[in-house]
Structure 1
């Protein structure tokens, strides 16, 4: 595979460094004005304006919010391969607790997962690549996707609306802030990187009665308690010790008085798996466990599963492209091997239909700060990572185009 020329590496670095103050200010502006899933109208307008000024072709919208834009390379559209780069743009329903000038101005809403960083650095990447578009071996598709934080997410409906069918990218790449990785570094992994996530809703129906005479009732709380403890069997015995799996009950609601046995208990939780076969098997085993355990206590158990994002599977060839590009930009010592994580990400839908890779971008500071974690009200990424993200995304896009054009 042809290597990115060193002169191009230098130009990408110089361009990213020059753009950094502007992109940092854009990130702060987005951070001040966070918007929840499918409500990202201001963010959408900001993205469109910036890309139009760069001269990119703005696509007709695939959803009410979000932006899709094309940067045409030097080769003709008929000859040119296409590489896609994606950023998510929505915020979380969370009250920010940081203390700096650009904190969220929206009550109860915060960019606590780095999507403001992702959006800004992808805009910067577009600016970097637009600076030498005529030299590109193909076209770059920029996808600013809404609603990653709210299942079923924005990726699946964009795909269903024909996004990948219309543009047919040869590869797709995404990037995400990770505070456990030091700023200045990125991490990559072939195969399973992030988990499938399913929502669990359990209802146990019993027979209410006086708490002094439990033998005359069918206690749903007792049945629910046994279901909770029995769930651990799924992880410890039903799943291989070599297969990551998590089943957690995160809420229980039942009863309202000390002397009344209620007639119903409601529970909810999550199941995370790294293997689609194991996922299907555990779903069925979980259903049987709920129903049979409840029946053993004279109650009726029902399980409703809301299937979430699938396992995020990185394509080995795409990972090699991104790794090679990152090593040229940052040095091999700044490119780590990712550890699998049990969080979920709807970029996995793109990777089901198009080979690609999800890059973990380090945003952790030299001295770790307590509370600096994703979905925390004090999440505070190192903004220098914006420059790293621009460099790696731009170099990865160039290298992927060369790979696709030569294949």
Structure 2
């Protein structure tokens, strides 16, 4: 529907205004009180009825489920615990920041809601709009936002036949360019927790104790050796430890140590195999030095998977809408997105909208305290989302 482009362009100023308000009021995890109030207010202004599927989440729908299938459009709303240094006039000052662009995702989905409202009578089915909390996994609980909305039943009543969403990307992704790929598009993630038990001693007599720091150092190296010797070299696996803690004094061998890290993979079998190798390795290293250790993989999120058939279909609609091809990514991202959880149970297509690099923000990518996104392309994300839903339903009419 070519007119969707012009309708989205006409909403550009409002999309930017929504984005800037959201950017200035970032909140974390499931605690999105101000964010939800703003988004709900905007939807209700358009005539939508809004429900709360889970804490920090919003759900609404448009169209008639009895008239055809149902497609879901999803945006994430949470921010990161990052101190912003952009200097933008609408910069956050509360110690949090939309450094991953979720403010833009929410604003573009609000724009799509407006476009869909204008075509309500023409919809050949139903469109659900999901505004999700805690994609970043910042909440101190065992589940993330994707788990919460799935458990809340957002894919049922009516049943969702397809899911689509988009994510902005800066730096090497050209402003206004759209990307995707069939199959895996984002890596899985597992938090790694290693607990090590040794035996305390005086620093001058290490032979009288069992040094958990020494064990931790060998385990750290062991994880990298697992990648180089236990993983098919054609596969991508990243194991990074961001926290190792033990002891309190320079001359005391402590009793224990703890390591926290992250595991990223792009294949489900590789992911499971690596976990099994890691458990054996952690136990074996600790035992070799007389200590004990266990590893746990926490709050796992699988690969975000683009259904090849659905992705080919939606790419075709986008090619026609914008008179330019959607670019195919050569490989999945090493990063993770918990849209993965919905993509395991419903056909899903995740698009990437490039925003390039703005002056003063060179070298600043996702999660950087100085990252910013080119607002001039936001209408394009709105058009992509709305048109994907309209065309998906239209193709199945009758």
2:104 pairs, out of 117, 126, 130, with 117
Equivalent pairs, count: 393
The residue that corresponds to 2:131 in the other structure is: 144
Which residues of 2 match residues 158-197 of structure 1 at below 5 A? 158-179=149-170, 180-197=172-189
The residue that corresponds to 2:370 in the other structure is: 378
Which residues of 2 match residues 6-405 of structure 1 at below 5 A? 8-9=1-2, 11-58=3-50, 60-72=51-63, 76-105=64-93, 107-150=94-137, 152-179=143-170, 180-333=172-325, 335-337=327-329, 339-365=331-357, 369-405=361-397
Structure 1 window deviating more from structure 2 (394-403 vs 221-230): it is: 394-403
* Secondary structure class of the residue paired with 1:167: coil
Shift of 1:116: 0.5
Label 1:277 to 1:250 Cα distance change in 2 as closer, same or farther (>3 A).
same
Label 1:371 to 1:337 Cα distance change in 2 as closer, same or farther (>3 A).
closer
Distance 1:201 1:15 in 2: 49
Label 1:375 to 1:168 Cα distance change in 2 as closer, same or farther (>3 A).
same
Q: Deviations over 1:343-369 (max 9, x none)?
A: 111111111111011111111137693
Does the Cα contact within 8 Å between 1:193 and 1:338 map onto a contact in 2? Answer: no
Does the Cα contact within 8 Å between 1:188 and 1:338 map onto a contact in 2? Answer: no
Does the Cα contact within 8 Å between 1:205 and 1:299 map onto a contact in 2? Answer: yes
Shift of 1:319: 0.9
Shift of 1:257: 2.6
Label 1:149 to 1:395 Cα distance change in 2 as closer, same or farther (>3 A).
same
* Secondary structure class of the residue paired with 1:69: strand
Structure 1 window deviating more from structure 2 (247-256 vs 137-146): it is: 247-256
* Secondary structure class of the residue paired with 1:96: coil
Structure 1 window deviating more from structure 2 (285-294 vs 77-86): it is: 77-86
Q: Deviations over 1:81-136 (max 9, x none)?
A: 1111000011111111011211114x211111101100000000111121122222
* Secondary structure class of the residue paired with 1:34: coil
Does the Cα contact within 8 Å between 2:361 and 2:370 map onto a contact in 1? Answer: no
Distance 1:263 1:404 in 2: 64
Does the Cα contact within 8 Å between 2:167 and 2:351 map onto a contact in 1? Answer: yes
Shift of 1:235: 1.0
Distance 1:366 1:307 in 2: 34
Shift of 1:78: 1.6
Q: Deviations over 1:62-96 (max 9, x none)?
A: 11322111111xxx532321111000011111111
Does the Cα contact within 8 Å between 1:184 and 1:363 map onto a contact in 2? Answer: yes
Does the Cα contact within 8 Å between 1:321 and 1:396 map onto a contact in 2? Answer: no
Label 1:393 to 1:86 Cα distance change in 2 as closer, same or farther (>3 A).
same
Does the Cα contact within 8 Å between 1:119 and 1:144 map onto a contact in 2? Answer: yes
* Unmatched segments (≥5 aa) in structure 2: none
Quote the RMSD (CA, aligned, Å).
1.7
Does the Cα contact within 8 Å between 2:358 and 2:372 map onto a contact in 1? Answer: no
Shift of 1:303: 1.2
Shift of 1:156: 1.5
Does the Cα contact within 8 Å between 2:180 and 2:326 map onto a contact in 1? Answer: no
* Secondary structure class of the residue paired with 1:112: coil
